[in-house]
Amino acid sequence: MADTDGSLLDVNDTGTTYWNERLLYHFEGGVGVGHFQGRVSAERARLAAALAQGYAVAYSSGNRTGEHYNLQLGGETALMVKEHFIKRFGEPDYTVAIGGSGGAIQQYVYQQNHPGLIDAGVPQYSYPDMVTQTIHVGDCELLEHYMDVTDRDNPRWQETKARSLLLGFNSTDAVPDPLAEAKQSLGYSSAPGSNECIPAWRGLTPLSMNPHYGQVREQDKMHPPGIMADVKWTHYDDLRNIYGVDARGWARVPWDNVGVQYGLQALREGAIDAASFTAVRLLSGALMLALILLLRDRQVKAMVTQGNHGSALALFVYAAGFSLAYVALATGTGALLLFGAVQATMVGVGLYLSLIHI
């Protein structure tokens, strides 16, 4: 609160002289994975424009999604902050909330989960929720990596508009990719323009999904030494009390790309050929598998060195045939051939195994 007449003797007593009996709760955005307290932003906590009009301002680093994205914890934090305010200063006439991005989502979720916490809100530049955002967090950099690195020699991906064929997002040369020149200087591919992935989700994959990516300030000074070594720095582990854990103690992950066929619409429209579609499916699947192993048990090296190359070749032949079938066969015909081939294979293998054991 603001008291500017200099009459206070106790610096810990903020007073109520200029309070208009209204409370403004400031929720902040960002994306963080928790495991540390965070720091209070004096500028955002004070909100001089609101104080000048007589509002009291409530604020906590526990209500900044840039510190953590556990909205169950954040909602309980907001309840306790407001309760503390009421005990000290009394019940406000009403509580209005402000905040953008994750600060906007907090307003939606907390009012839903805790009716009466706020009476009105001013959510700004919101998005649906973090659960559905992780779809793009995982997919965007997966496909950008494929076009920039894995298939870097394909001139198709050097066209900004062509990247929409895989990503499914809008692209434009009117907004340049700020890292295009840097990527090309390192020997990678790039398109000159941007797509929706670049300003919205670039960089969030390691932050949200890599268990080794995070740290807290001065953790090297913590005791006992190595106390933070077992922390899994992922968005999912931050919400392990909500998602639960698997048999190995890792937080469950509500995102994967099983059954997702990147580029299928572009294939059907003739914008890419069957070979490109097959390459996208297999290589993006391999990258996704490596990411899942990294999230769960860190055995990426074992996957590479101990893989079954015969099985990989069989998968390639299967996927290539399937890709050609998408553009050459009707759905009913393709399904008939697929299930017929599967049944024939099962019967043939069964007969073969029975013969060699006679």
What pLDDT digit, counting tens, does each position of 109-123 carry? 999 999 999 999 999
- pLDDT in the model for residue 232: 87
The amino acid sitting at 206 is P
Give SS3 for 258: coil
Closest CA to 168 of 287, 283, 267: 267
Residue by residue, DSSP assigns 260-273 as --TTHHHHHTTSS-
Query: Chain-wide mean pLDDT for the chain?
Result: 81
Give the H or E element holding residue 251. Answer: none
- pLDDT in the model for residue 41: 80
**Two tokens, residue 264:** 């299928």
d(C-alpha 59, C-alpha 262), whole Å: 43
Give SS3 for 175: strand
Over 80: is that where the pLDDT of 288 sits? no
| Angle subtended by helix axes 274-296 and 309-328, to nearest 10 | 140
Over 80: is that where the pLDDT of 79 sits? yes
Higher pLDDT, 80 or 276: 80
Per CATH, domain 22-127 is 3.90.25.10:
no
Confidence band (pLDDT; 50, 70, 90) for 330? low
Angle at 164 between CA 160 and CA 165, to 5 degrees: 120
The reported pTM is 0.67
Q: Which residue has 């079938």 as its token pair?
A: 325
Q: What percent of the chain has pLDDT over 90?
A: 32
Pairing of strands 22-26, 94-100: parallel
How many CA within 13 A on the CB side of residue 286? 15
The amino acid sitting at 94 is Y
Contacts of 119 (CB under 8 A, 6+ apart): 94, 95, 96
pLDDT in tens, 228-280: 888 888 888 888 889 999 888 888 888 776 666 666 677 667 777 666 766 77
Give the H or E element holding residue 98. Answer: strand 94-100
Location of each CATH 3.40.50.1820 domain in the chain: 22-127
Over 50: is that where the pLDDT of 308 sits? yes
| Angle subtended by helix axes 130-145 and 274-296, to nearest 10 | 120
**Two tokens, residue 237:** 């582990």
Give the H or E element holding residue 81. Answer: helix 71-89
- pLDDT in the model for residue 9: 47
Whether a cis peptide bond, with omega within 30° of 0, leads into 225 is: no
**Residue 92: φ, ψ to 5°:** -75, 160
Angle at 66 between CA 123 and CA 226, to 5 degrees: 160
**Residue 172: φ, ψ to 5°:** -155, 145
- pLDDT in the model for residue 231: 86
| Cβ proximity of 251 and 243 under 8 Å | yes
Higher pLDDT, 30 or 103: 103
- pLDDT in the model for residue 350: 79
Q: Which residue has 């099985």 as its token pair?
A: 311
- pLDDT in the model for residue 314: 67
| Mean pLDDT confidence for 318-343 | 63
Query: What letter does residue 250 receive in the DSSP assignment?
Result: P
Over 90: is that where the pLDDT of 349 sits? no
d(C-alpha 279, C-alpha 261), whole Å: 11
Query: What letter does residue 244 receive in the DSSP assignment?
Result: -
| Cβ proximity of 34 and 65 under 8 Å | no
> Which range in 27-31, 77-81, 131-135, 138-142 is most confidently predicted, on average pLDDT?
77-81
Contacts of 214 (CB under 8 A, 6+ apart): 33, 35, 207, 231, 233
Give the H or E element holding residue 24. Answer: strand 22-26
Expressed in angstroms, the distance from the first to the final Cα of the chain is: 89
Query: What letter does residue 147 receive in the DSSP assignment?
Result: I
Over 90: is that where the pLDDT of 358 sits? no
